[in-house]
């Protein structure tokens, strides 16, 4: 409407003045409801053409959107596994700090696993003490076997010497029996040594490995026990937290609640049409008016333009994607920050705003080789930005009345 009024002052009004004061056409006589098109056809036609051109120029070079908000993130409160709630330490809307306990799950199973691991460690330590005693016993058996073997060897050597000096004085069977006895005692000694080596290997390798496994199982049980206590990962406020002892919490199906981190609105996220993607650049100056801050115009600056459009993303599924699913065009996501610090103070997180961006040709106009018509066109584009700025101010002025009166609140 504003563009139509502006264009009519440049087209319809001069046409009417010419008809009235040059041709003598009078309003209500020669110019009436039935003849207005014939009498003012040139002005009306030019007005429509100029209005459409102005609206196109304004909305293309000075984008506007109502899809602007001070977005914020939330943290889902849930344990790493399924469990039954044993204790709840906070309530809904409570403010918490990082590391503060929120709720605890039933830890009977984890505590039993810890006790089992402790007893296993104690059992292995007792086995190590017994193994030390077995090692001492094996050493004693080795000494005993060596003594018996030494006696058998001496007896064999003595009998062999006697038989050598006096052949036939000792029966060959007795010598053979003593030789077998020596071999038997040698085998007993080897068995005792092998038994000792087995006990040493058990003490040095097997039992320490079993103890390390039991200690690892204890640590695993302690970690599992620690996971039953859910704490706040950051400072914030607990929302939608209706958890009570006895409830079942499932990280896949039933989270415990939501934690809203503590932060202030430091920027806005806005979505502009794809057709304006060639115009929107980092560093563009803009303005916003927010529903939570009525009658205020806040100057902004574009700090980042998202290079992708969310509606075109493809996620791995078990079915091929039909391109018709992306027929609806998405928007260009733009991050805007206030031109001066603190101007968004008091804006609640998630607040809705109306945003304008303004194309500036100041740098291009500094070129001395710029032609007349291009210079004129750049000046015209920058000038018509005033129309959008005026529209934004009218929206800011009427926004409270539109919401409170005409919105039915």
Residues 97 and 244 in one domain: yes
Looking at the fold, whether 137 and 91 belong to one and the same domain comes out as no
> Does residue 322 lie within any of the structural domains?
no
∠ at Cα 26 (21, 30), nearest 5°?
Answer: 125
User: 375 and 249 in one domain?
Assistant: no
Q: Binning pLDDT at 50, 70 and 90, where does residue 169 land? A: low
- Return the pLDDT at 2: 67
Query: Is pLDDT of 78 > 80?
Result: yes
Q: 3-state SS of 328-352?
A: CCCEEEEEEEECCCCCCCCCCCCCE
Question: Measured between alpha carbons, how far is 59 from 385 in angstroms, rounded to an integer?
Answer: 9
CB 279 within 8 A of CB 61: yes
Segment 220-246 shows an average pLDDT of 86
Higher pLDDT, 221 or 156: 221
- Give me the domain span that covers residue 375: 62-71+264-310+330-409
Tokens 């602007």 belong to 68
Q: Assess if residue 19 is contained within a domain.
A: yes
Q: Which of 223-227, 248-252, 279-283 bottoms out in mean pLDDT, i.e. has the lowest?
A: 248-252
On the question of pLDDT at 409 being above 60, the answer is: no
Query: DSSP letters of 127-151?
Result: HHHHHHHHHHHHHHHHHHHHHHHHH
Any domain includes 325: no
Confidence of residue 178 (pLDDT cuts 50, 70, 90): low
pLDDT tens by residue, 21-48: 777 777 777 776 777 777 777 877 888 8
For residues 336 and 256, membership in a common domain is answered with no
The tens digit of pLDDT for each residue in 303-319 reads: 999 888 887 777 777 77
Residue 371 has φ and ψ, to the nearest 5°, of -70, 165
Cβ pair 270, 336 in contact under 8 A: yes
248 & 336 share domain: no
**For residue 329, is it left (φ>0), alpha (ψ between -120 and 50) or beta?**
beta
- In a domain? residue 319: no
Structure tokens at 356: 């304008």
Is residue 256 assigned to a domain? yes
Number of domains in the chain: 4
Q: Are the C-beta atoms of residues 65 and 281 closer than 8 Å to each other?
A: no
Q: Which residues pair with 31 in a beta bridge?
A: 27
**Residue pLDDT, tens place only, 8-19:** 777 777 777 777
Q: Are 238 and 259 in contact (CB under 8 A)?
A: yes
Give pTM, 2 decimals.
0.67
Identify the pLDDT of residue 316.
79
Q: How far apart are CA 159 and CA 167, in angstroms?
A: 11
pLDDT (tens digit per residue) in 274-285? 888 888 889 899
Query: In this structure, are 46 and 189 located in the same domain?
Result: no
Average pLDDT of the segment spanning 375-395: 85
Nearest to 396 by CA among 301, 300, 280, 292: 292
Residue 321, in any domain of the structure: no
121-167 tens-digit pLDDT: 898 888 888 888 888 887 888 777 777 777 777 776 676 666 666 66
> Is residue 175 one of the residues assigned to a domain?
yes
């Amino acid at each position: 409407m504003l563009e139509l009024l502006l264009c009519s002052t440049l087209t319809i009004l001069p046409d009417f003045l010419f008809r009235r004061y040059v041709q003598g056409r009078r309003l209500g006589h020669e110019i009436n409801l039935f003849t207005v098109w014939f009498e003012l056809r040139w002005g009306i036609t030019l007005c429509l053409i100029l209005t459409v051109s102005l609206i196109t120029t304004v909305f293309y070079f000075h984008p506007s959107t109502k899809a602007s908000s001070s977005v914020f993130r939330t943290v889902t409160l849930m344990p790493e596994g399924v469990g039954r709630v044993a204790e709840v330490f906070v309530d809904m809307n409570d403010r918490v700090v990082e590391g503060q306990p929120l709720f605890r799950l039933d830890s009977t199973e984890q505590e039993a696993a810890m006790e089992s691991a402790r007893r296993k460690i104690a059992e292995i330590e007792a086995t190590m003490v017994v193994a030390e005693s077995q090692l001492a016993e094996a050493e004693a058996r080795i000494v005993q076997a060596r003594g018996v073997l030494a006696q058998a060897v001496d007896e064999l050597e003595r009998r062999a010497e006697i038989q050598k000096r006096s052949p036939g004085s000792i029966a060959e069977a007795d010598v053979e029996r003593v030789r077998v006895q020596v071999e038997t005692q040698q085998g007993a000694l080897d068995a005792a040594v092998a038994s000792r080596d087995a006990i040493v290997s058990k003490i040095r390798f097997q039992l320490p490995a079993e103890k390390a496994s039991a200690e690892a199982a204890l640590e695993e049980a302690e970690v599992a026990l620690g996971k039953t206590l859910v704490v706040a990962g950051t400072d914030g406020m607990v929302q939608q937290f209706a958890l009570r002892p006895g409830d079942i919490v499932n990280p896949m199906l039933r989270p415990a609640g939501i934690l809203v981190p503590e932060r202030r609105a430091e920027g806005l996220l806005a979505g502009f049409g794809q057709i304006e993607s060639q115009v929107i650049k980092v560093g563009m100056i803009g303005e916003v008016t927010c529903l939570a801050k009525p009658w205020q115009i806040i100057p902004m600056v574009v700090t980042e333009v998202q290079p992708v459009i969310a509606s075109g993303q493809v996620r791995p599924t078990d079915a091929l994607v039909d391109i018709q699913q992306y027929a609806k065009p998405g928007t260009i996501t733009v991050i805007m920050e206030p031109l001066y610090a603190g101007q968004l103070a008091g804006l609640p997180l998630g607040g809705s705003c109306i945003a304008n961006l303004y194309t500036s040709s100041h740098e291009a106009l500094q070129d001395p080789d710029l032609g007349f018509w291009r210079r004129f066109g750049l000046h015209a584009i920058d000038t018509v930005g005033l129309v959008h700025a005026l529209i934004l101010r009218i929206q800011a002025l009427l926004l409270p009345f539109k919401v409170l009166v005409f919105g039915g609140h």
